[in-house]
Structure 1
């Protein structure tokens, strides 16, 4: 985006779902970056000696620093760059050997995550919690022995190998970025191999009886809430109080039942579900679109709606005519979770050890057991690698049976 950067623009600019930059039309190379949290930082962009584009933060924010002051500093820096200076390389040279793990996470690496990963906040929190004992340790002082010892301690504390491997991957990604940016000379833990993980991940899906109980609990909840609303309004009417909105003419009492029916029939992730907009739902063609900015894989995918999913969305839309989000929270804003209602529903249905995310496993498992090939399941789930879908392969034993049956021949 290009525009003249001034106070009025920065006061009116709205944060987006992702980090974005505005390039100044008055001074070439002067930019501001706006984060989803609304922070506005000044920077410059220029071409380095290697021909690559470089973004260099001025280390100043709006409105603490005025636009005119930031533009003047950018003008001076860009002039020095034209004369052969490279402030980004100079900064790296100064910090090399002194940059600590936490200062890197709080600085450039954190900015990188926030710009490219929707779960940046959770990754940052996890890294700082896991490696708190190394927070003030310079990146250049890390070595394989130190981290291997940390890893052994985690296993001794009872952590599973799969958990420790996931933690190690997060740290390895951090050091890979530091190497790419020439903040350290070599990757200190590249030689550490993954630990052997015992067994595969357990796929939790509903048995036929559990699914019946879940659906029965949903219906019972709807009936209970309707009767409760009727009693409440009868009580209010006798006291001449304002009545609560009637729900008798609504197909659903609230979002829970249509959200669950959609999840069971599409395998959509909870985050994708809660950001879904009606503009991404085509009821005529019976197709639901998960946009790249909402998808975990950052790739758009299209999900066909079966009869139950289509009916649920059609009925839900009829009672939500003015909303943009399919499942809006209070005041039309994005809902953050359905934890309380979901937990009570599972208790009513007497279902244990079943998360909302497990409805995605249920969707995939039922497809495989119905004979759907794994690659189609992969596409529907939005997996980037078939390896992620192979966890469901054991649910199709008839394929293995058919394979060995081909050995039969007449002698």
Structure 2
């Protein structure tokens, strides 16, 4: 068992040095326990030899010289030696030394199964990964992606015209995925390439509100459009101000026609508390007109899968473009619902309750929508002061008249 500095030059010299029979083990002079087994057949394999907690000699295979580089084999041997020094057993915890997965492998095999059980927004993650992150990073091993790669990607998607907030969310998602890999011991600590990537300055969410004339154009198209179900969903979003998934995932047993409420259970509510959505006359009439099937509990469903629609984006995209509303998102229907309430003179407190906002600060974004209402409110103070001053002047004048009359008498 000769001692030998395991170098690339030594590995290159192995052909022609095969032992006559059996195998020869070369023990590295740098890392104790790291060795190369060279067989008579010409094959050579890296191993790490150590003693476990019971004192038994164990041999842990690292990989053949034709499947792993010397530097990677040495790095694994170093980690195994550290583990043994800390009381661990490389054979028992062999999962810690498997090859680092590609970004696509980790996302598919580890991250998405985890997200589906813990994140309500996992479908958004899956879409962003499929369309943006995986095409760029999917084939790279996770430890080969650098901060400069992430920065270049961040700027590239921004130059394609995506909003600053959208670009930032891509980096936030990628950073979270890497943090999962670090937490699950797939990657070492402090190896997140997204650390230190500066987000683009986001000047706030874009606000877009439909006018009554635009709503009429939209409804005219919905009346003529072949996709009846999507038209019904769009109408209900405007009638209720609900979030998209609150309507798409609604079940018949969540609707109380007597109390005129749609109850979103805590499991699907953004606030993680049950949310009660009041149903207007128009919403009730629409719901009562919908077909129902005894074997399907959902209000809206795909006839083939008997499940709620996964997405209505492409149908909505076609509809909005036909009526010249290509800049209107589905979520803008919720904003429009709020704007109609405010412009009709309803209080922000009422809007907050109808939209299900937990924080009144969120509702304050609609405060500017009714300048006439704000002006009338501001005039209240002026009118009170004017009335008080006018009353005092009238009282003083009356008192003066009384005094004059007394003097004359």
Q: Is the 8 A contact 1:325 1:332 kept in 2?
A: no
Q: Is the 8 A contact 1:201 1:391 kept in 2?
A: no
- 2:292 maps to what in 1? 320
TM-score with structure 1 length normalisation? Answer: 0.57
- 1:277 maps to what in 2? 251
Q: Is the 8 A contact 1:200 1:391 kept in 2?
A: no
**Mean Cα deviation higher: 262-271 or 395-404:** 395-404
Say which of 100, 116, 133 aligns to 1:114: 116
- 1:358 maps to what in 2? 332
CA shift in 2, pair 1:204/1:329, >3 Å: same
Is 1:165 the counterpart of 2:173? The answer is no
Unaligned runs of 5+ in 1: 1-83, 226-252
- 1:193 maps to what in 2? 198
CA shift in 2, pair 1:324/1:176, >3 Å: same
- 1:150 maps to what in 2? 153
CA shift in 2, pair 1:404/1:148, >3 Å: farther
Is 1:135 the counterpart of 2:138? The answer is yes
Secondary structure of the equivalent of 1:288? strand
- 1:205 maps to what in 2? 209
CA shift in 2, pair 1:159/1:210, >3 Å: closer
CA shift in 2, pair 1:111/1:283, >3 Å: same
Which whole-Å deviations, capped at 9, do the CAs of 1:184-225 have from their partners, x for residues lacking one?
Answer: 31244333332212x433322221112233344555x39xx9
C-alpha separation in 2, matches of 1:131 and 1:344: 27
How far did residue 165 of structure 1 move? 0.8
Q: Is the 8 A contact 1:263 1:269 kept in 2?
A: yes
RMSD after superposition: 4.1
Secondary structure of the equivalent of 2:93? helix
- 1:19 maps to what in 2? none
Secondary structure of the equivalent of 1:107? helix
C-alpha separation in 2, matches of 1:340 and 1:134: 26
Q: Is the 8 A contact 2:171 2:194 kept in 1?
A: no
- Higher Rg of the two aligned structures: 2
CA shift in 2, pair 1:397/1:92, >3 Å: farther
CA shift in 2, pair 1:314/1:399, >3 Å: same
Secondary structure of the equivalent of 1:330? coil
Q: Is the 8 A contact 2:252 2:298 kept in 1?
A: yes
- 1:180 maps to what in 2? 183
**Mean Cα deviation higher: 263-272 or 351-360:** 351-360
CA shift in 2, pair 1:111/1:384, >3 Å: farther
CA shift in 2, pair 1:88/1:179, >3 Å: farther
Unaligned runs of 5+ in 2: 1-86, 390-409
**Mean Cα deviation higher: 285-294 or 166-175:** 285-294
Say which of 265, 289, 300 aligns to 2:239: 265
C-alpha separation in 2, matches of 1:271 and 1:217: 23
- 2:126 maps to what in 1? 124
* Pairing of 1:44-59 with structure 2 (within 5 A): none
Is 1:291 the counterpart of 2:274? The answer is no
Q: Is the 8 A contact 1:256 1:341 kept in 2?
A: yes
- 2:285 maps to what in 1? 311
Q: Is the 8 A contact 1:264 1:362 kept in 2?
A: yes
Is 1:369 the counterpart of 2:343? The answer is yes
CA shift in 2, pair 1:338/1:106, >3 Å: closer
- 2:97 maps to what in 1? 94
Secondary structure of the equivalent of 2:263? strand
How far did residue 91 of structure 1 move? 4.9
Which whole-Å deviations, capped at 9, do the CAs of 1:219-252 have from their partners, x for residues lacking one?
Answer: 5x39xx9xxxxxxxxxxxxxxxxxxxxxxxxxxx
Q: Which of the pair has the greater relative contact order for Cα pairs under 8 Å at 6+ separation?
A: 1
C-alpha separation in 2, matches of 1:341 and 1:148: 34
